[in-house]
Amino acid sequence: MRQLQPSSGLRRAQNFLGSSLIVMSGYVLSRGTGLLRDIVISAQFGTSAQLGAYRAAFKVTDLLYMVIIGGALGSSFIPVFIQIWQRESEERAWQLASAVVTWALAVLVFASGLLWLFAPQLTTWFYGGQGFDLPNLVLVTQLTRLFLLSPLLLGLGGLAMAALNALDRFTLPALAPATYNLGIIGGAILLAPTWGIWGLAWGVIAGALLYLLIQIPGLLGLGMRLKPTLGRNLPELRIVARQVAPRIIGQAAAQISILVTAALTARLALGAERLAGLDYAYQLMLLPYGVFSLSLSTVAFPRLARLFAEGRHAELEANVRQTLSMILLLTLPAAISLILLGLPLIRLLFQRGEFDQTSLQYTLAPLLGYATALPAFAASEILIRAFYAMQQTYIPVLIGLGQILLNLALGSLALKAGYGVGALALAFSLANNIEALLLFLVLQHQKPTLWRDQQFWKSIRAVSIANLALAVLLWATLQILTPFFSFLSLNGAYSWQQQIFPLILWLSSVGGIGTLIYVGIAAIFGSAEAQMLWLKVQNRLRRNSRSA
C-alpha cells in the first residue's frame, strides 16, 4: 500500500482522537469491568428467574437516575455552567452548581419516596405478565425499594461528572463507572454465595457509593464551593430549569423504550428467564456503544456547546461530522461482528456454571436484534447532543417520544403474532433506526450546510464498502470452518474447560485479520478516520521492525 499523507481533515481527526483518548480509555475500562461483572453474574445465576427479577428492578430505578441526573440535567447544566465560568466568575459558576445540586437532590428524594410507596403497583403494571409469578413480582418490589438508595448516590456522582466534564476534566469521571462495576462484582463474589440475589443487590449500593467518592478529589482540585441553596437570585437557574424539562422527556424516551421491551418480555412464557437473557444481549450491544459512541460524544458535547456559545458555527458543524464519521467507522463493524460472531462470543464470555444451552438461546435471539440497532443507537448519541448544544431541545424530545410509541406498537404486534423475544429486540432496533434517520434529516434542516461536505460523504462511502467486505469475509469464514469446530454451531457440543482456549484463538485470529482488512479497505477508499488509524498501524509496525 502506498504511503498515506495526512490531510487537513486528517489532522483535525488526529487532534480530536487525541483529546478523546483518555475518555475512551475510561470507557474501555468501564465496559471491561462491566463485561467482567456480567461474566461473574452469568456463572452464578445464568438466566434464572431471580436474576430476571433483579434486572427488572434495576430498570425501574435506572429510569429514575437516568432521567433526572444521568443525561437530562447534565446536558442542561453543562452549557450554562461553561458560559458563567468563562464570561463571569468561578464563584458564580459554583453558586449555580450548588443550587442545581440542592434542587436535584430534593427532586430525587421526593421521586424516590413516591416510587418506594407505589413500588408494588408499578411492578405489577410493568411486569404483571405470564412470565413473572407472584413470588417473583414480590421480589422485584423488594429489590426496587433497596435500589432506591443508588439514584441518590449516583445522582450526586452524576452532577460531579457533569461539572468535571464541563471543565474538560475527564479522568475521574471516566474511572467512576468502573468503580461502580467493581462494587457489583464484589457483591457477586463476596456476598452472593451466602445471600443469593440480595448479595448482588447490596453490591449495587456499594458500587454507587464508590461512583460518587472517586470524583470528590477532582472537584476539590477545582476549588469546589458547594453549599445548600435554592438559588433564588440566580437567573441562570431558571434557564437550566426551562431547558431540563424537555430534556427529561427526551432522556426518558430512551430509557422508557428499554423498559417497554422488558415489560413486553414479561408477557412471554418464562418471561423472567428470557428477560435475563435479553439483558445479557443488551449489555453486549452496549459494549461497543459505550467504548466508541458514548466516549466520543462525551468529549464532543462541551466543545459543541462552547463553539455554539462563541458563534463558531462552521467549526461546530465540522465537529459534528467528524464525531459521527468516527462513530460509524467503529460501530458498524462491531454490529456486523455481533450478528455473525454472536454465538461463539456468547459461549466464550458466558457459557459456564449456571449459564447453560438454554441460557445461550435466550441470549442469542435478542442479540441479533440489538446488534442491528447499534449503529443507529450510537449515531443518535451525537445527533441529540448536537441539538442540545445548540439549545434546541424539543426536536429530539418529540422524535424520542415517537420512537417509544413505535417500539411499543411494533413489539405489541410481534407478541400478538406469536413471536418471541428476538422479535421484540428487532422492534427496538427498527424504532431506533427510524429515530436516528429523523434526527439526521431534521438536523440537516436546521443546519443546511451541515452535511454538505465532500470528505464526510467520501468517508461514509468508504466505510460502507469496507463493512460489506467484512461481512462477506466473516460469513465465508463461518461457512468454511463451522464443520470443523463444534463451538461455531448452535447445536454443537461445547465444554468451556476443554474448548475455551481454541475458541479464544479462533476469535482472536478472525477478529485481528478482519480488523486489518476492514481498516485497510476503508483507508484506501478515502475514510480520513481510517487513514489516521492505518497510519498509526504503519508507524507501530515500523517502530517494531527497527527495534527487532
Arithmetic mean of pLDDT, 195-200: 95
Q: How confident is the model over 80-99, as pLDDT tens digits?
A: 777 777 677 777 777 777 78
Look up residue 532 and give its three cell numbers: 489516521
Residues 41 and 51: beta-carbon distance below 8 Å: yes
User: Quick one: pLDDT band at residue 8, thresholds 50, 70, 90?
Assistant: very low
Q: How confident is the model over 371-423, as pLDDT tens digits?
A: 999 999 999 999 998 988 887 878 888 898 899 999 999 999 999 998 999 99
pLDDT at 5: 47
pLDDT at 75: 61
Give the residue carrying C-alpha cell 413516591.
Answer: 114
Arithmetic mean of pLDDT, 320-340: 95
Q: Which among 296, 317, 285, 287 has a CA at the least distance from the CA of 529?
A: 296
User: Quick one: pLDDT band at residue 230, thresholds 50, 70, 90?
Assistant: confident
* 370 pLDDT more than 90: yes
Mean pLDDT of the chain: 85
pLDDT at 2: 43
Q: How confident is the model over 492-533, as pLDDT tens digits?
A: 888 888 999 999 999 999 999 999 999 999 999 988 888 887
pLDDT at 336: 97
* 162 pLDDT more than 80: no
User: Quick one: pLDDT band at residue 15, thresholds 50, 70, 90?
Assistant: very low
pLDDT at 396: 87
- Sketch the domain layout of the chain as residue ranges: 8-452, 453-548
What is the Cα–Cα distance from 105 to 97, expressed in whole angstroms? Answer: 12
DSSP assignments along 242-269, one per residue: HHHHHHHHHHHHHHHHHHHHHHHHTTST
Look up residue 232 and give its three cell numbers: 433564588
Cα-to-chain-centroid distance, residue 149? 22
pLDDT at 544: 60
Look up residue 380 and give its three cell numbers: 443518535
Arithmetic mean of pLDDT, 335-364: 95
Scanning 417-495, the segments in alpha helix (DSSP H) are 421-446, 454-481
Other C-beta atoms within 10 Å of 286: how many? 18
Give the residue carrying C-alpha cell 467512576.
Answer: 176
**Contact partners, residue 299, CB within 8 Å, separation at least 6:** 16, 19, 20, 23, 170
What is the Cα–Cα distance from 30 to 20, expressed in whole angstroms? Answer: 15
pLDDT at 188: 94
User: Quick one: pLDDT band at residue 180, thresholds 50, 70, 90?
Assistant: very high
pTM (2 d.p.): 0.84
Single-letter residue type at 201? A
User: Quick one: pLDDT band at residue 242, thresholds 50, 70, 90?
Assistant: confident
pLDDT at 1: 41
User: Quick one: pLDDT band at residue 284, thresholds 50, 70, 90?
Assistant: very high
User: Quick one: pLDDT band at residue 465, thresholds 50, 70, 90?
Assistant: very high
Other C-beta atoms within 10 Å of 513: how many? 12
Arithmetic mean of pLDDT, 122-133: 89
DSSP assignments along 62-99, one per residue: HHHHIIIIITHHHHHHHHHHHHHHHHT-HHHHHHHHHH
pLDDT: is 509 or 172 the higher one? Answer: 509
